[in-house]
Chain A
Amino acid sequence: MFKKLFIANRGEVAVRVARTARAMGIRVVGAVSSADRGASWTAALDELVGVGSGPPRESYLQQERLVQAAVQTGCTALHPGWGFLAENARFAALVEAHGVAFVGPAPRAMDLMGLKTPAKRAARAAGLATIPGSDGPLRDEAEALRVARDIGFPVMVKADAGGGGRGMRLVHREADFAAAWHAASSEALAAFGDGACYLEKYVERGRHIEVQVLGDRHGRAVHLWERECSVQRKHQKLVEESCAPCLSDAERERVGALAANLARSIGYAGAGTVEFLRAADGAIYFMEMNTRLQVEHPVTEERLGLDLVRLQLEVAANRPLPASLSAVKPTGHAIEARVNAEDPARGFAPSPGVLARFDIPLGLGPGRVRLDTHVAAGDEVPPYYDSLLAKVVAVGATRAEAIETLARCLSGARIEGLATTIPVHLAVLGSAEFRAGDYDTGSIPGWKE
């Protein structure tokens, strides 16, 4: 096993990865920006290397500097965490070229899954259904309209080079199609230099399902069951849980097998997540694959009693997956709340500042609580980074018990000095829709902005 690991990440991510590495007897070197220098969470690391100033572009996204730091400190592996460079194939190639093992899939897999059209083709080839639409980008309005009629309205027009909602238009009626097409296309041209757009059937009242997969470098891949993340605000997940309330046991088995199939068919090595959308009519479509560990991975870990970071490191060291892995059966129910330093009363605006108080009670029952955080009272939350303060994961024998546990814990939490999203979590957990499992990605159950 590697003796020294470099973590090209910060905050909660660095703390989470370091915890496992140190438990395995691996020394941990962390990258820190000048804004993070002296932060309490850096105590979780054995060594620190300054990689630049506060803005990520000047530090946590400085590829060559990170690789140099890893080489100079004698690290033999690099964990990218999630966010920043975790899905950057060129960075992975650069790391490997310097003799440092990249804890993640091969760059080729990132390339493949990073592009919408090739990813969907690979998924279809592996037997996964994709949302009906054009196979790849279209340039011609007349052709686009033909495809739109074919798949039926409402349809979504999306820029092929897109992201962040730009170059995206929802069209309900054929009469509005031409205008929407031109708007999306010219927006995409302005933003990305490429006006090509593709079409997708718009799935109403969809539920977000994702399956944790894990492959090794010897051709084996398994799924580690699903999570549901339908409580979202503008594609930002707020609450994640497992098992998914919207799936039957048969569906659960089926999406799991499909996700494992996809991982196997592309020779995927490492931890990844295959995302699906479940339509109101029960159809389940492949959305995309994230070629990294997810923020919400503790939900899976708590139900299965596994340490995914440990498995990632073992795969990176070329160990075969343990044979017992596919026999691991999930138990109970786990729910995670992402507590962000954001002000829900002000449109979820970032709320940086100094934490005057930071208490989250873990022992209020009825189930147990896992707390993943990197902050403590007295810390300053810098403005440059992700606003996540803590992930609170409640585990109960049943969903109701997990909800009750999480609600008690968050009600008892005392965080002062800045605004957090806890009021939203409490509203969700208390709502009848959430408890009944009757909601979708379109709105937050129990919360009105």
Chain B
Amino acid sequence: MNLLKVIIDFISNQILGMRWLNEVVGKLLKVLFGETFAQGRWGLSIQFFIYDFIKIGILLCVMIFIISYIQSYFPPERTKKILGKFKGIKANILGALLGTVTPFCSCSSIPIFIGFTRAGLSSGVTFSFLISSPLVDLGALVLLTSIFGIEIAVAYVVAGLIIAVIGGTIIEKTGLGNNIQDFVYNGESVDIDSPELSRKERIDYAKGETLATYRKVFWYIVIGVGIGSLIHNWIPKSWIQTVLGQNNPFSVLIATLFGAPFYADIFGTLPIAEALFAKGVGLGTVMAFMMAVTTLSIPSLIMLNRVVKKKLLIAFIVVVMIGIIVIGYGFNAAQIFFT
């Protein structure tokens, strides 16, 4: 049992967390610029920046490749057919699970919403799918493991799935899910057989997605790592503790409300989450921040606005935010209770 823990810790810290890389960069800076500079604020900032940027870059490329390969088995057209076979809470849960593995870019979210609705999928299932998509990510699971360890990473994913399932169910059961624009219903549902892909085609697809995602997310990572570096080395711990620390009962609320209007890819939020956590911010507060930033984005809300009526759009935003806040307080409490 002990050996297993050693192995998991090794994977968490050295393979995913790449702590050895931090050491290497630190030594390199010492050699190039001398001990005083390397240990000073600027030196440490630069060290963090280089180490975190490379680490996230490598993790991103490896993760996106593997995930895209897996996702090539779950095109939206197939997901729609699978979900059509289930009813009730089972369908919601499946919708949330498939939401994490079905790939689609933001411009496909409208056709997917329309397609699901016309196929007769309940609003609950469709929304469970839409909520879990940005919220729960296989990539997030791996990246969170690198910072917080596997138990917390799994807890994050489970929490996200729960928000998606409950959120979708609430939207449907309260009848809010019926506030969909009329044109969405006007049309038939077409099922197609998704083309079977060869291994080479899957690899090509995964390669393409890796490159495209890296390019798209590059600046989010730079900014995220920059802010993380700032928090690590420049902002006093006491400031952060006052606003986001465990002694501030509003920390989760602040983190959620502050994070919601911003959007960043999860890879960009990680260095910030890392830095905040290191400065003693509660686990739940950090998670709430990450979830708020990655789930609600202006482009996706604009898209959603075209297919649902205002009432439902607001309901969607409120349900997701409340879910995040509840999870945030829950994890903060669990952290205090268990440590």
Chains A and B are bound partners = no
